[in-house]
Amino acid sequence: MENMVNVYLFGKKYQVPAGLTIMTAMEYAGYELVRGCGCRNGFCGACATIYRIKGESALHGCLACQTEVQEGMYVATLPFFPLEKKVYDIEKIKPTEQIMMQLYPEIYSCIGCNACTKACTQELNVMQYIAYAQRGEYEKCAEESFDCVMCGVCSSRCPAGISHPQVAMLARRLNGKYIAPECGHLADRVKEIDEGAFNELIESLMQKPIEEMKELYNNRDIEQ
């Protein structure tokens, strides 16, 4: 076959068609993906992957559903990375610098190596949002980390053992609960949903064929 490339999946060599994503190449090679495949569209972060190109020293982080295979690519997926997730009650904590120090003290051990930023699959400035978290600047931390998909690749490269996605999640929750302006129309809509105002509409939509659902979605009214 033409346009085939050699890839190494978990150390074993395979020939796969060029142009496939890492995920589809794994399936082409015979792997059955029962975990670490998620949304398959770059949003959930479930398919976190580390790879290195043969003959190069650089180690790269990516999402397997979005990244095409390359000649000589050595691949290892991270369907789960053991992040440190602290338990807290958002109603009982406040957006102070002390709460971050209490829950995630390891962020103050950051050595500024920037490995987290270099590894980020979303190209976020991870080290910067950790710096904001250290200073208790949760609004800035929330904004800088907004596109995080919590894949954990940044944490896999961190010598200080920081669980960056969980730190960012805490900052976004603190920002949403205590700092960002209240969104009145959102609260009204949630109340309407709780009261069942849309039950009949939702039930009707669930009975429609998938193609009709796609048509409705693609032609929906979008607020400016």
Domain boundaries, the chain: 4-77, 97-179, 184-213
Query: What pLDDT is attached to residue 60?
Result: 92
Sheet (strand 12-17) strand order: 12-17, 4-9, 73-77, 48-53, 60-63
Give the distance from CA 139 to its chain's centroid.
19
When pLDDT is averaged across residues 168-193 and rounded to a whole number, the result is: 93
Query: Residue 157 in contact with residue 123, Cβ under 8 Å?
Result: no
Query: What pLDDT is attached to residue 65?
Result: 95
Query: Residue 138 in contact with residue 174, Cβ under 8 Å?
Result: yes
Query: What pLDDT is attached to residue 1?
Result: 55
Q: Which fold has domain 4-77?
A: Ubiquitin-like (UB roll) (3.10.20)
pLDDT band, very low/low/confident/very high, at 173 (cuts 50, 70, 90):
very high
Please say whether the dihedral angle defined by the alpha carbons of residues 6, 123, 114 and 174, taken in this order, is positive or negative. Answer: negative
Query: Residue 58 in contact with residue 52, Cβ under 8 Å?
Result: yes
Query: Residue 153 in contact with residue 50, Cβ under 8 Å?
Result: yes
> Can you read off the two tokens belonging to residue 189?
């809509």
Query: What pLDDT is attached to residue 20?
Result: 96
pLDDT tens readout for residues 59-92: 999 999 999 999 999 999 988 889 999 999 999 9
Quote the Cα angle for 50-119-68, to 5°. Answer: 50
pLDDT tens readout for residues 108-158: 999 999 999 999 999 999 999 999 999 999 999 999 999 999 999 999 999
pLDDT tens readout for residues 2-28: 699 999 999 999 999 999 999 999 999
Give me the percent of the chain exceeding a pLDDT of 90: 82
Cα separations (Å) of 129 from 62, 116, 141?
Answer: 20, 11, 5
Query: What pLDDT is attached to residue 183?
Result: 84
Reply yes or no on whether the pLDDT at 160 is more than 90.
yes
Reply yes or no on whether the pLDDT at 223 is more than 80.
no
What's the chain's average pLDDT? 93
Query: What pLDDT is attached to residue 134?
Result: 97
pLDDT band, very low/low/confident/very high, at 224 (cuts 50, 70, 90):
low
Residue type (1 letter), 120: C
